[in-house]
Amino acid sequence: MLELLGFNLLDSSAWLAQGQALLASYGLIGLFLVCFFSASVLPFPSEPIIVIAAKFFDPISILAVVLVSSTIAAYINYWVGYRGLHPFLVKREEQEEHKAEKWIRKWGAPILLASPWIPFIGDLFPVAAGALKMPARTFLFWIITARIIKTLAVIGFALGLFKLLGW
C-alpha cells in the first residue's frame, strides 16, 4: 500500500475521509506535501484535497501553499529534464514525454498554461521544457501563471459548491 502521512494514495474511494483526516492532523503542511508529490512523482490528483482544504482554510493560504509546493515540484522536474537525468530519475512514459516535447515545440512556452489541466502528460511538460532547454525564467513565468489560474479555479469551484450545498 502506497501511503503518505497515513493517506492511502491508491484508494480513491476513501480520499474524502482520508483527505479530511490528513488536513485535520497536518493542516497546511499536509496540503503542501500532497500538492508537492502530486506535481512531481506520484500520479494522483491534488484537486480533491484542495477542495477539502477550502472548507478549513482561507483561500489565500491555500493558494500560497499550493503555488509554492507545486512550483517547487515542477522546477525539480524541469531541472531533471534540463540536466538530462529524466531517463533515470523520473517515472515516466517515454512516448508521453515525446508528445509533451512535440506540443512545446509546436505551441511554445504558453502551452505550459495547459499543463496542470492535462492528466498524466501534463506532469511531463516541466521535464520536456527542461529537456528542450527552455530558459528557466520563461518556464517559471508560465508554470507559476498556470498554477495560479488552476488553483484559483479549484478554490472557486469548492467555494461555489459549498455555497450551493449550504455548507
Q: 87 by DSSP, 3-state: which?
A: helix
Supply the pLDDT for residue 1.
Answer: 47
pTM as predicted: 0.82
Helices (H), the chain: 15-38, 47-56, 59-82, 86-89, 94-107, 125-131, 136-165
Return averaged pLDDT per consecutive 10 residues of the chain, 167 residues in all: 53 65 88 86 79 94 97 93 72 71 91 87 87 96 97 96 87
How far apart, in whole angstroms, are the C-alpha atoms of residue 99 and residue 118?
A: 12
Full domain range(s) for residue 85: 3-165
Count of structural domains, the chain: 1
